[in-house]
Structure 1
Amino acid sequence: MSLHLSYTSHTLRFKFDARTSRGAISEHKVYFLKVWNVENPGVFGLGECAPLAGLSIDYRPDLEEKLQQVVNAVNSGKVELRVGQGLPEELQLQLQEWPAMRFALEVALLDLQHGGKGLLYDNAFSRGEAGIPINGLVWMGDRAFMQEQIDQKMKAGYTCLKLKIGSLDFTTELDILQSIREVAGADRLTVRVDANGAFSPQEAYKKLERLAKYELHSIEQPIRQGQLQEMIQLCAYTPVPIALDEELISVQEAQAKEALLESIKPQYIILKPTLVGGLAASAEWIQMAGQRGIGWWMTSALESNIGLNAISQFTAQYDVTLPQGLGTGQLYHNNIPSPLRIRQGELWRNGNVE
């Protein structure tokens, strides 16, 4: 069975400037990969390649050139894709530094394997029989904007909120956390914060001590990635459990993953398939973390609904209890139709796209 490959680009437009400690973005260019059997072109699988500016190792000016190289290699027969067998080893090696492309190809092949209807796994979530607990994401902005989001999420039934911090004055951010806790204690509402590496190593521990007052579930990436000794010390003595996020992005080989977990010993890791190299790479991280008693959760990385659908179904393959960082692509004006819906702080999948 001969498989062919193509790609097309799509620019997603945010409903507001999405701010993190690395700056604001108003649009996100993604690439949809399509794979099909030349003998049956009406059935095809779709995957999404969506590296993020300032974060992904494969957000590069030659990304589209690399995509075309892979398309040419597959369509000429130099590289053979096969349904049900994952990515061939030679392609995995060629795409070692292109994690978003590996994710896109994996998903496209899975989709094709299951009939090209976006149903990648057979589990209770994909059948619409169970939901996945998720956190409500509160984006950075001025205090009024953040407070408005918090109120909306709590009214919508979320029991876990995640706040991005690091762009406002720290005292203002503590005041926002105080206002949350005045409304709902830790027994009613789980609160996570994500610093996106905004703290300096010198100030991090003192800031963590002040944050601990608000009984936080965890803090993502308090200091910038790549500061190994400082992160080891923080994770050893932190008063707030630490979740590694950006720290995982450039770590692609199994031995390097094990070395990172063994040395830093984080309380949690956060997995974004677009950034860490796909579903197989995420499964490897999950296995390694489990062997070391390290918790984990999945998070989308601003993908369109193609990527979100795949990540959520993959997540449901596991017996998850922690709220996951997933959603329905409501950030965008021009997302594509989705079978995903949110009900009372849980992500659900309808049987068919509406």
Structure 2
Amino acid sequence: MTQTFKVKAAIKPYILDFAFDAGTSRGVLKDKQTHFIRVQSPVFPEIYGIGEAGPLKGLSPDDRPDFMDRAMEVLGELENIPFSTEPTKILQILSEAGLEEFPSLRFGLETAMLDLVNGGIRKILPNRFYEYGTEIPINGLIWMGEKPFMKQQIEQKLQQGFDCIKMKIGAIDFESELALLESIREKYSKEQITLRVDANGAFNPNEAMGKLNRLAKLGIHSIEQPIGPGNGKAMAELCRTSPIPIALDEELIGIHDIQEKKALLEDLKPAYLILKPSLVGGILATKEWISLAEDLGIGWWMTSALESNIGLNAIAQLTSSLNPVLPQGLGTGMLYRNNVSSPLVISTGKLKYDKHKSWSIPDWD
């Protein structure tokens, strides 16, 4: 039976420590600031919902000095709102809460509220991943670094049974990156191992096509964001002429109006979209992008934005609920020394929710 309720909400900063120096084209990551959101209500006694708001440094719209101040204001305002126990109405209220500039905060609130009304058992949405343990195929992520370190990661992922490898490129010299990819292709055909690359916008528009032509000889599945966002004309030309299918990632950030989203996809015509819910605005915004993409014959997959297992769990359940057909970018649970203990397990290139394992949420006080 649907009823209304009010919540008490709190937010807690948490520093995630990387188990290694994680290299990207935007620099090396050693730790990540994230925030856990807890909601409680007398209507749901003795339980709580938890979500995660984790702005990605240098990329998220809500990576800003006043994040905590604004988050506290938002939580205070939400405590005055009568919420429905109907999940779709919860998502609608949060979509109208004026959080366009705070997409990770919206996603964290969505997660926490849905967790609460589902019984505080870390279930977010109806999905086979949580309910039946259905595995989600994922890609093995190779971080940037010195050539020996990248080679070590590749060998490790292949030994672990991944058949889809994604390599970040653009930090070391291109010839070394090409050699690493060639070393995989010498041993494994494209039928055996799918190779994805992610440039994070590192290519100069004037040199991008030359690099794409060289990468294409290695049977690359796709390249994420070869040039930086905002180069509409150059990106449209690359999407039209590239020998490698292009996937948009950073290009999607900060676009909220559905007509603007549609116009972007129609103008650029990418092969794929890479969707990070905490960057594009949460659950409803992600579903909107996917609906538009599928109408235009554009493929998609989901990735985390380096969240802890709390955020990763929510993204995995959202992904499962949308019946994905491609390997997803959800292999970030092993990145941190101090991640939240959870039922999320990676085995032979797949992410699984193992209900024999339990959650261990950090103490709030």
Instruction: Give the TM-score of the pair, scaled to structure 2.
Output: 0.94
Match of 1:301 in 2: 305
Tell me what 2:362 maps to.
Answer: none
Find 1:82's aligned residue among 81, 84, 87.
84
TM-aligned CA deviation for residue 90 of structure 1: 7.4
Taking a change above 3 Å as real, the CA distance of residues 151 and 177 of structure 1, as seen in their structure-2 partners, is same
Deviates more, 1:106-115 or 1:127-136: 127-136
1:31 partner letter = H
Conserved 8 A contact 1:328-1:338: no
- Tell me the secondary structure at the aligned position of residue 202 of structure 1: coil
- 1:186-205 mapped onto 2 (5 Å cutoff): 186-205=190-209
Q: Matches of 1:2 and 1:299 in 2, distance apart?
A: 32
Correspondence for 1:36 among 28, 40, 52: 40
- Cα distance between partner residues in 2 of 1:88 and 1:305: 25
For residue 117 of structure 1, what is the aligned residue in structure 2? Answer: 121
The one-letter code of the counterpart of 1:258 is: K
Q: Tell me the residue number matched to 1:252.
A: 256
Q: Which residue of 55, 69, 74 corresponds with 1:65?
A: 69
Structure 1 residues 163-197: Cα deviation after superposition (integer angstroms, max 9, x where no partner): 00001111111111110101111010000000000
Paired residues of 2:44 and 2:116 also in contact (CA < 8 A):
no
In structure 1, C-alpha distance between the alignment counterparts of 2:171 and 2:78, rounded to whole Å: 44
Q: Find the residue that maps to 2:51 and give its secondary structure.
A: strand
Corresponding residue SS for 1:47: strand
Q: Which amino acid aligns with 1:235?
A: C
Counterpart of 1:127 (choices 127, 131, 136) is 131
**Where does residue 164 of structure 2 map in the other structure?**
160
Aligned partners of 2:75 and 2:219: how far apart in 1?
50
Query: Residues 23-69 of structure 1, C-alpha deviation per residue, up to 9 Å, x if partnerless?
Result: 01111111111111135441111110000111101100010011110
Give the distance between the partners of 2:217 and 2:298, measured in 1 at CA.
23
Q: Deviations over 1:90-117 (max 9, x none)?
A: 7634211110011011111110111001
* Unpaired runs of at least 5, structure 1: none
The verdict on how the C-alpha distance between 1:352 and 1:273 changes in structure 2, with shifts beyond 3 A counting, is farther
Matches within 5 A, 1:308-319: 308-319=312-323
**Aligned in 2, Cα 1:109/1:196: closer, same or farther, shift over 3 Å?**
same
Q: Which moved more, 1:317-326 or 1:231-240?
A: 317-326
Quote the residue 2:241 is aligned against: 237
Q: Match for residue 223 of structure 2?
A: 219
Q: Which residue of 1 aligns with 2:31?
A: 27
Post-superposition CA distance 1:105-154 (Å, at most 9, x none): 11111101110010123332112432001000000011110110000100
Q: Is the 8 A contact 1:81 1:88 kept in 2?
A: no
Aligned pair count reads: 352
What is the one-letter code of the residue matched to 1:100?
Answer: S
Relative to structure 1, is the Cα distance of residues 22 and 3 closer, same or farther in structure 2, using a 3 angstrom cutoff? Answer: same
Give, in whole Å, the separation in 2 of the partners of 1:251 and 1:319.
24
Unpaired runs of at least 5, structure 2: 359-365
AA of the residue aligned to 1:17? D
Cα distance change, pair 185–228 in 1 and its aligned pair in 2 (3 A): same
- SS of aligned partner of 1:42: coil
1: CA distance, partners of 2:166 / 2:13: 30
What amino acid is aligned across from residue 73 of structure 1 in structure 2? Answer: E
Letter in 1 for 2:293: A
Displacement of 1:324: 0.2
Whole-angstrom CA distance in 2 between matches of 1:90 and 1:292: 28
Select the residue among 42, 46, 52 that pairs with 1:48.
52
Counterpart residue number, 1:99: 103
More deviation, 314-323/80-89: 80-89
- Give the secondary structure class of the aligned counterpart of 1:201: coil
Contact in 1 for aligned 2:11/2:36 (Cα 8 Å):
yes
Letter paired with 2:317: Q
Equivalents in 2 of 1:90, 1:330: separation in Å?
31
TM-score normalised by the chain length of structure 1: 0.96
Q: What whole-Å deviation, never above 9, does each CA across 1:216-238 have from its counterpart, x for those lacking one?
A: 00000000001100000000000
Residue 65 of structure 1 aligns to a residue whose secondary structure is: helix
Taking a change above 3 Å as real, the CA distance of residues 91 and 209 of structure 1, as seen in their structure-2 partners, is: closer
Alignment deviations for residues 226-258 of structure 1 (CA, whole Å, 9 cap, x no partner): 110000000000000000000001112211111
| 8 Å Cα contact 2:94-2:110 kept in structure 1 | no
CA distance in 2 between counterparts of 1:288 and 1:321 reads 17
Question: 2:125 & 2:92 partners in 1: Cα distance?
Answer: 21
**1:88 deviation in Å?**
5.0
Q: CA deviation at 1:328?
A: 5.1
Tell me, in whole angstroms, the C-alpha distance in 2 between the residues paired with 1:152 and 1:88. 43
CA distance, structure 2, for counterparts of residue 167 and residue 217 of structure 1: 20
Q: CA RMSD in A?
A: 1.3
